[in-house]
Chain A
Amino acid sequence: MKGFLLSFRSEFYKSRKTIGFWGAVLLPLLISLLALAIFYFKSEKFIAMPALALWIQFALVSLGVMGTLLLPVFIIFIGYSVNSVEHRADTWKTLFSLPISRWSVYGAKFAYAVFLVFLCLDLFVLFTISFGNLLSVIKPELKFNTYHLEWELTQIYFKLFLSSLGVLSIQFLMSLLWSDFMKPMGIGLVLTIVGITAASKDWEYAYLMPYAHPMEALQSMFRGQKGPARDIVINVFTKDIYVSVAVAVVVFIAGYFIVQRRSVK
């Protein structure tokens, strides 16, 4: 356990000056700032809305882009960035000749990738809530302060987080095994497009495809409405989420056995 914690800390130490880590912070900040700007400059469009619908519209600026293409691309990028640190510096051989079990080294790396995705989605919640409340101060005609969406939003992003785990585990393993970016990126993008297509066409087996899960998760919460979404139905633990978590667990364990048996270059 000590080896795992040390490795996890080291992952943070290594990444704290890289785009991999800052991407997880800047992405939610920039998108939330964009939402803030839209609502600030186009406030007249939203004044008439009831508070809940207002919050939903506000949150959907981020959720919309994240739930479709951006989250899978971000995950592809995170899976790559935590592994490329070692590929580029040729440090796999040093990592695996440390007096730390291979399990800890591998587990900590995976856990750190999961942590970055979690951090990113967490910050989306934080920035959305903060900027919404900020808007009700600087634009009092937008009545954000009359409704509290914190709990719902936390649930939504938690579901999105769980839905991303399957994709993350696959991307992580591909990036671990291949040093060049093009393979995991190319395969990941193709699968993402297939997944998005399947989810958006409501294909009945889309829930079995990890790359369809982020979009499935989002659709399940904002479906069945014509025009702008005004209401949400939150059910975190749906079958696609179970599939996503199961895929993550299986791929993670399979990855460990691959690492264990593989010779280090």
Chain B
Amino acid sequence: MVIRTEGLSYSFGSQQVVKSLSLQVPQGSIYGFLGPNGAGKTTTIKMLLNLLKTGEGSIFVFDKELQTNRIAILKEIGSLIEQPAIYAHMSGRENLLNRAMLLGVNDARVDEMLALVKLSNAAHKKTGQYSLGMKQRLGIALALLSDPKLLILDEPTNGLDPNGIIEIRELLVRLTREHDKTVFISSHLLAEIERMATHVGIINHGEMLFQGSIDDLQAISQPLVYIETDNTVDAANLLTRNGYEVADVNNDSLTVPFTSKKQMGVINGLLNQNGVTVFAINKQQKDLENLFLSITKSN
């Protein structure tokens, strides 16, 4: 395990924000740390970086206890917490050079990182003039600068456009597959985590609701087939008669549990053949709220 916590808890005053968390992050994984805003994700991440004094419990990173091996552990971690911390009066390149100096990293690596996050053209521009997406990319470059074994990223795709999100996702997948890095990434978007994570931890109100591989999660988070028709009631009756379980019906749409793409085609054909006009039919992921409901039910 790259990260292992035992009974990790934290309180701000009388409010307990992290409750007895036991994280298990295996090596080479992309661990998606999922939870709505205010669930305790950032607090947990700050504890992993020794920025907050651990209330209770213990943290092991690379099998070493964090408090007593702080510097040795931090050497192997690159992090991006909340919005990227960037000096606005300096250019992107200067921000990286400054960090390179502190980390004892070769200057050539700075230009490599700029190219990696596609900021070479804006390298000499003051970061105060960067867009949110550019700042986020620079933040990722800063986190990657020391070529760390473990990357801890707090909502790294915030503010990125769809292309940027795809690029980051591909980069993280490449880092874990080809360079044997481990990525711990937090998000409040289930879909985003599902697309890249190999392991998932779901946290709400400071408590871990689920932890396991992405396959385990998919077993719980069953996707749905979403269908819009001219007559949803008739469509629902027709599907029920044909052995489908209709999860939900309203005036505009109905949903059926997803099993395969082929099944979607069959449903479409069936509806059309029986005179129901299908306006739309697609696969839909459960959102985080519904997933919480399923998890709580399944527990």
Contact = CB atoms under 8 A, between A and B. Distances in A.
Contact of B85 (A17, A18, A90, A101): A90
Contacts of B99: 94
Contacts of A99: 71-72, 74-75, 103
Most B CB within 10 A of own CB, among A9, A14, A97, A101: A97
Interface in A51-99: 85, 88-91, 93-94, 96-99
B266 to A, nearest CB: 53
A100 B102 CA distance: 8
Interface string B78-118: 01011101111110001001110111100000000000000
Contacts of A18: 89
B174 interface: no
B85 A94 contact: yes
Interface stretch (B25-33, B49-57, B177-185, B251-259): B49-57
A225 interface: no
Given A93-B51, A263-B52, A98 B85 contact: no
Contact of B46 (A10, A17, A98, A264): A264
Interface of A: 6-7, 9-10, 13-14, 17-18, 85, 88-91, 93-94, 96-101, 261, 263-264
Given A89-B86, A96-B51, A9 B101 contact: yes
A98 B73 CA distance: 10
A88 B51 contact: no
B103 A98 contact: yes
What class of interface size applies to chain B in its complex with A? 20 to 34
Interface of B: 46, 49-53, 71-72, 74-75, 77, 79, 81-83, 85-90, 94, 97-99, 101-104, 142
Contact of A10 (B72, B77, B89, B101): B101
Contacts of B71: 99-101
Given A14-B90, A17-B90, A263 B102 contact: no
B50 A90 contact: no
Contacts of A14: 87, 90, 98
A97 B88 contact: no
B79 A89 contact: no
Contacts of A9: 101
- Identify the 5 closest CB pairs spanning chains A and B, nearest first: A99-B75, A91-B85, A99-B74, A264-B51, A97-B49
Nearest to A98: B102
Given A14-B98, A97-B77, 19 more contacts: A6-B104, A10-B102, A13-B94, A17-B89, A85-B87, A88-B88, A90-B82, A93-B49, A93-B81, A94-B81, A94-B142, A97-B50, A97-B51, A97-B79, A99-B71, A101-B71, A261-B53, A263-B46, A263-B51
